[in-house]
Structure 1
Amino acid sequence: MEPEARLEALLSLPALSGPVVSRDGRHVAWSWSRLAPTADVYAAPVDGSGEPVRLTETDENAYPVSWTPDGSGLIVEQDTGGDERSVLYLVRLERPGELVPLTDERPRFFIQGGELHPNGRWLVYAANLDPESGKEEEVYRVFRQDVKTGERLVLATPRRSGYLEPRLSPRGDRVLYHRSDLDPAGRQVWLAGVEGNGDREVLNFGPEAKVEASWLPDGRRVVFTAEAEGRRRLGTFDAEEGRVRWLIDDPRRNVEYAFAPPGGPLVAAEMREGRLSAVLVDPESGKESQPPRTTGSFVPIVRVREGEWAGLLYSSTQPADLVLASPSGTRSLTGLWERTRLRPEDLVPAEDFRWRSVDGLEVQGWLYRARGEAVGTVVLVHGGPTSVSEDRFNAQVQFFTANGFNVLCPNYRGSTGFGLEFQEKIKEDGWGGREQEDIRRGIEALIEAGIAEPYRVGITGTSYGGYSAWCAITRYPPEIVAAAAPVCGMTDLVVDYYSTRPDLRPYSEEMMGGSPEEIPERYRERSPINHVKNIRGRLLIVQGERDPNVTPENVRAVVKELERHGIPYELLTFADEGHGISRPKNLRVLYPRLARFFRETFAQGPGLG
């Protein structure tokens, strides 16, 4: 297949995200991007009895948030050009395309979550909105809004900003949400009465311990994971009796998250050496069982029949899809492979690749080998940093390999998927510490193995991956990193701290060990903007102009510094993108530009710099 044809095939392959099951367990909704100019919401029966129905078709990306209690409709969110100032809409299964606005159509604030009360009139969400002045503020509150009158009632007001995403109980009497009032590194679980009464803390395992919780279908218990004492534990909490019951409390196990599907056992998603393996847990007895076996990672989301589950299936050669899995095999609920000319054998599989970092820590990554003779290597760094690169289809990776590049996706310290101890190691140094050395040593290991060559390695990534690309090009010589293409990456950690969304500032404080006022020297030293004079390789800066996370202020600041030092650079911006580049028309520009940028750099060889 010719390069242009392969690019079109990759960018027409539907990218599935955010599957949500209706409360009655009959339908699943998800967002598909790349079938149209923007992402749209689809829904289908979980038993495979019907074809997917397209529920939205607009000029902006749409994502499912939650089902209505009766399962007849969905709350969906849309922003404008990726600015993340979402509007919540209601769309009914029987009326596809009819979006009824539930919140302000031109919001001056950010919304988190959104669930409709069983009475059909109240909408519960969080927003950084001052209810008296109507202005945006630092702290997010939990609101109950009357969708007919627009009247808002404040249900809870945390002391400091943080990500809340309130969840209404199935009974509709209480709202579960999270606070980080005690320490930026911790999260506690609170319950607030839907009538505006009884706001109280219910789960707290220490100021720096994180707890993540969601409701069980009975409406009185929650399932939660608690990070403390170097491990994650899985348990349930009875909100009426105030009783905790531990289901998994084993330091050898790594439960990343858990949830309660309608009408079935709990699903605990474990990560083992970067691969996902789900287990089913009975909330009453604690007895564990296995979901149907599949080829690839499988997250069961709802039990359809005895021994048969609908769930999310993926691998590097299996794009994320919703399937029915049983002992006899899997069947797509979406008809994914019918929508593309590509086949699994057209995709490059991931190889497990490992090395030792500067302090002896073992680091893992996924290696994808170029088709044909390699012209060079691209390191694609995941964002977060609290995230993970998996054995999972990635159109950008597949495009690079088709164009003659080896690709390494490293899971540096701070990544999830390798246990809490490994994840927390990034805090020992703070951002820009030894996790960047993990990436450098991965490049050197590729060179030592004869997979990569000096002067023929480039680096890119989005968000924290973009920050890592900035760190690499400002720290390492061109024989290690010859070119960098940071996408929406932080350049000045102080500028980023004050210009980002308010709920993200506690994350910076957690990772860095304090605010810029408390530890100014660390923020200064770890900001790539203060080291641009060291750049000897080539630089391509990519930015979404509506990004509220890593804002364009990062680019404006670093461009001034680059020009002050006479450092050449290229700049590629997208007016209709936010935190990351996602629209197919823009990816058709970005991917070939990156390939050309790296190929031209590698052709210079030792003459670079």
Structure 2
Amino acid sequence: MDENAQTSAGTGGAPAAKPSDMPEWEQRFRAPRVGLPEWAEDAPDRSLFVSNATGTFELYAWDRGTGEQRQATDRPNGTTDGTLTPDGEWIWWFSDTDGDEFGVWMRQPFAGAAAGRDQPAASGLEASYPAGLALGRDGTAVVGRSTDEEGTTIHVVPPGGEPWVVYRHRESAGVGDVSYDGRLLAIEHTEHGDAMHSAVKVAVLGEHSEVFAELDDTEGGTEELGLEVLGFAPAAGDNRLLIAHQRRGRWEPAIWDPVAAEFTDLRLDLPGDVSAQWYPDATGLLIAHTYQARSELYRYDLASGSLSRLDTPPGTVSGATARPDGSVEFHWSSAAEPAVVRNDRGEVVLQAPGMKPPASRPVEDVWVDGPGGKIHALVQRPAGGSGDGPYPTIFDIHGGPTWHDSDAFAAGPAAWLDHGFAVVRVNYRGSTGYGREWTDALKHRVGLIELEDIGAVRQWAVESGLADPEKLVLSGGSWGGYLTLLGLGVQPDDWTLGLAAVPVADYVTAYHDEMEALKAMDRTLLGGTPEEVPERFEASSPLTYVDRVRAPVYISAGVNDPRCPIQQVENYVVRLQQRGHPHEVYRYDAGHGSLVVEERIKQLRLELDFALKHLGLQDRRG
């Protein structure tokens, strides 16, 4: 279809005009957005996608044949975790309590029904943290569950039958995939105790399921290498499993047939990380290539071994899927251009109704010498600034830590640009996308390694004339919030103020209160529990350095957060209060962030007000 015949999410006609009295930064948050549609494997006209068209991120059902769309979920704090059964008859979605991530799977008919259409999807299973889900064509579901008491359990839920356990272990694990015919189950696990590097088991599903094949790159070497399940081949009787490995120091795809015990290494001549998924006819792979904070797509033909690049603009593809008709749909954006769902034929596939978000500023690449090698930073300069600076500058630190900032559209950084700030984002050691060695470098000196890289980029920003050293803001959410609080104490002379959202503030208390999967990650990062390696937890905890903090501190936290629980934040705040240190705290009724648009706007407005007040700057919101 052409761009004049775009499909809109939800109800509504032509895009509404942008309110003249609404600042552009708020428009970017309020403008309706849509995610990449997932489609049912055996009913490709039935799709499921996420949108914030109502002001809260929820799941939407879309019948492509009729064009009909409907909102499938409606909860005060939003819903984003859902999937379709292969036949497209049912929508499964995860129901937690106010963002605490602890709950059960529900389901409803795709076509919708009267009130009360939602029902428990896996009867007999108690609430837990989710650990993966795979839905078979015969109605069988494989449900992964994680609890503090039991670790990880994976249950097989036959249609109309009682659930039974196919896998259990104290360490973190998860459902990988179920084969097309439902015979084989792939499980990712970390039984070896390294939560950053998974191994894979494959079992035959049945009343007496047993593991018959294993692939474990952590054995037999001094370096632990991770594996990831990408999916079984979408064809009956085809036992091939697509995986990702790190045997050459970066993520690359390979094909493993656990039945025939055959491993096919796909050596693709592409720098950076490479992931893949099957084309629906199983004759090729859709390749996602990520390199230096940008991404692109390719088709790899399995018969010929040829690699063909698909037409995607420079920027970031945050998700892609190959359709049965051979087309590829993808979710794309750049730092300057808002996100759009289009296909490789140049057509816009899905577009939300209402106003469109204003564009923002392009990103510049900066490479800075650091103690562990070249550090990649992404820099944006405000429009209408005087010359090349210096500007008040915010270092917006990404979470994860196994994540990376990319050339992608984001309403938060764009808001700071609108207020005259330069924005710097650092892909510090621990970030993905720069090889396994870069990602794994932060072990044992957690937080301190990342701050060395952030500090090196800060020095560049000041010496280059970009940043005003008297107006430097350290900011971030989740792991970025943790690094913000840690940085304010470890580097007290470097930062003018700090903005920490859902942070780790007291590492020992956080460890004891957080969800089990994150306990496993912390044991991997720090080499043990707080009782086993107390000196490492002390060295990496922001609470250790709270009395050295000089900059005013703003903290926001979700009271139901299972990842960075509220009590450890309160412990840090008490120490600030005891010192009489300037700070503000905002607590909100949600989990690890919010899916409600107005709440996100409120939080950013509070951060802006705090920064402008303490930096002595004028509010430029209009």
Q: CA deviation at 1:390?
A: 0.7
Partner of 1:182 in structure 2?
A: 192
Partner of 1:302 in structure 2?
A: 322
Equivalent of 1:389, from 392, 405, 410? 405
Summarize the Cα distance change of 1:58–1:542 in structure 2 as closer, same or farther, 3 Å threshold. Answer: closer
Residue identity opposite 1:506 in structure 2: A
Residue identity opposite 1:35 in structure 2: A
Contact 1:61 1:79 in 2 (8 A): no
Q: CA deviation at 1:535?
A: 0.7
CA shift digits 1:144-202 (9 cap, x unpaired): 124645x22001113x3214134222211222111111131431111233224122442
CA shift digits 1:536-577 (9 cap, x unpaired): 1100111011100111122122123223334332110101x2
Equivalent of 1:355, from 363, 368, 375? 368
Contact 2:335 2:360 in 1 (8 A): yes
Equivalent of 2:214, from 192, 199, 202? 202
**CA distance in structure 2 between the aligned counterparts of 1:372 and 1:23, rounded to whole angstroms:** 49
- Stretches of 4+ aligned residues off by more than 6 angstroms: none
Partner of 1:114 in structure 2?
A: 133
> Cα RMSD between the aligned structures?
2.7
Residues 102-501 of structure 1: matches in 2 within 5 Å?
102-103=121-122, 108-120=127-139, 122-128=140-146, 137-146=149-158, 148=160, 151-158=162-169, 160-184=170-194, 185-196=196-207, 197-207=209-219, 208-213=224-229, 214-218=231-235, 219-228=238-247, 230-248=249-267, 253-263=271-281, 265-298=284-317, 299-303=319-323, 305-306=325-326, 308-326=327-345, 330-336=346-352, 338-343=353-358, 346-357=359-370, 359=371, 361-373=373-385, 376-427=392-443, 430-478=445-493, 480-501=494-515
Q: CA deviation at 1:360?
A: 6.2
**CA distance in structure 2 between the aligned counterparts of 1:366 and 1:138, rounded to whole angstroms:** 42
Residues 89-108 of structure 1: matches in 2 within 5 Å?
89-95=106-112, 98-103=117-122, 108=127
Contact 2:103 2:129 in 1 (8 A): yes
CA shift digits 1:396-439 (9 cap, x unpaired): 11111112221111111111112222222223x53122211111
Instruction: Specify the SS of the correspondent of 1:443.
Output: helix
Residue identity opposite 1:558 in structure 2: Y
Residue identity opposite 1:331 in structure 2: E
Q: CA deviation at 1:249?
A: 6.4
Residues 65-76 of structure 1: matches in 2 within 5 Å?
65-76=82-93
Residue identity opposite 1:186 in structure 2: H
Contact 2:492 2:551 in 1 (8 A): yes
Partner of 2:607 in structure 1?
A: 594
Gaps of 5+ in 1: 130-135
**CA distance in structure 2 between the aligned counterparts of 1:15 and 1:445, rounded to whole angstroms:** 36
**CA distance in structure 2 between the aligned counterparts of 1:557 and 1:475, rounded to whole angstroms:** 18
Contact 1:382 1:388 in 2 (8 A): yes
Residues 506-517 of structure 1: matches in 2 within 5 Å?
506-517=520-531
CA shift digits 1:10-62 (9 cap, x unpaired): 1222344464332137247454343224211124467x983654333333422
**CA distance in structure 2 between the aligned counterparts of 1:443 and 1:105, rounded to whole angstroms:** 53
User: Are positions 1:21 and 2:39 aligned together?
Assistant: yes
Contact 1:166 1:175 in 2 (8 A): yes
Partner of 1:133 in structure 2?
A: none
Instruction: Specify the SS of the correspondent of 2:611.
Output: helix
Summarize the Cα distance change of 1:146–1:49 in structure 2 as closer, same or farther, 3 Å threshold. Answer: closer
Q: CA deviation at 1:321?
A: 3.0
Contact 1:102 1:147 in 2 (8 A): no
Summarize the Cα distance change of 1:105–1:141 in structure 2 as closer, same or farther, 3 Å threshold. Answer: closer
Residue identity opposite 1:322 in structure 2: V
**CA distance in structure 2 between the aligned counterparts of 1:100 and 1:493, rounded to whole angstroms:** 39
Partner of 2:52 in structure 1?
A: 34
Structure 1 stretch 3-12 or stretch 533-542: which is displaced more? 3-12
Q: CA deviation at 1:92?
A: 2.9
**CA distance in structure 2 between the aligned counterparts of 1:107 and 1:570, rounded to whole angstroms:** 39
**CA distance in structure 2 between the aligned counterparts of 1:565 and 1:289, rounded to whole angstroms:** 61
**CA distance in structure 2 between the aligned counterparts of 1:294 and 1:24, rounded to whole angstroms:** 31
Summarize the Cα distance change of 1:393–1:3 in structure 2 as closer, same or farther, 3 Å threshold. Answer: farther
Residue identity opposite 1:247 in structure 2: L
Q: CA deviation at 1:128?
A: 2.7
**CA distance in structure 2 between the aligned counterparts of 1:538 and 1:393, rounded to whole angstroms:** 29
Summarize the Cα distance change of 1:382–1:257 in structure 2 as closer, same or farther, 3 Å threshold. Answer: same
**CA distance in structure 1 between the aligned counterparts of 2:102 and 2:127, rounded to whole angstroms:** 7
Contact 2:156 2:164 in 1 (8 A): yes
Partner of 2:14 in structure 1?
A: none
CA shift digits 1:56-83 (9 cap, x unpaired): 3333422243321212332222322111
Instruction: Specify the SS of the correspondent of 1:279.
Output: strand
Structure 1 stretch 444-453 or stretch 91-100: which is displaced more? 91-100
Structure 1 stretch 457-466 or stretch 210-219: which is displaced more? 210-219
**CA distance in structure 1 between the aligned counterparts of 2:20 and 2:585, rounded to whole angstroms:** 28
Summarize the Cα distance change of 1:67–1:193 in structure 2 as closer, same or farther, 3 Å threshold. Answer: same
Give the length in aligned residue pairs: 583
Instruction: Specify the SS of the correspondent of 2:157.
Output: strand
Summarize the Cα distance change of 1:514–1:497 in structure 2 as closer, same or farther, 3 Å threshold. Answer: same
Partner of 1:560 in structure 2?
A: 574
Gaps of 5+ in 2: 1-18
Residue identity opposite 2:251 in structure 1: R
Q: CA deviation at 1:113?
A: 2.4
**CA distance in structure 2 between the aligned counterparts of 1:356 and 1:52, rounded to whole angstroms:** 51
**CA distance in structure 1 between the aligned counterparts of 2:126 and 2:34, rounded to whole angstroms:** 27
Residue identity opposite 1:127 in structure 2: R
Contact 1:180 1:186 in 2 (8 A): yes
Q: CA deviation at 1:286?
A: 3.2
Instruction: Specify the SS of the correspondent of 1:212.
Output: strand
**CA distance in structure 1 between the aligned counterparts of 2:54 and 2:126, rounded to whole angstroms:** 25
Contact 1:20 1:64 in 2 (8 A): no
Instruction: Specify the SS of the correspondent of 2:454.
Output: helix
Q: CA deviation at 1:107?
A: 5.1
Equivalent of 2:594, from 574, 581, 600? 581
TM-score (norm 2): 0.87
Equivalent of 1:518, from 505, 508, 532? 532
**CA distance in structure 2 between the aligned counterparts of 1:163 and 1:304, rounded to whole angstroms:** 31
Instruction: Specify the SS of the correspondent of 2:210.
Output: coil
Contact 1:172 1:194 in 2 (8 A): yes
**CA distance in structure 1 between the aligned counterparts of 2:329 and 2:66, rounded to whole angstroms:** 12
Instruction: Specify the SS of the correspondent of 1:38.
Output: coil
Instruction: Specify the SS of the correspondent of 2:616.
Output: helix
Partner of 2:23 in structure 1?
A: 5
Contact 2:474 2:499 in 1 (8 A): yes
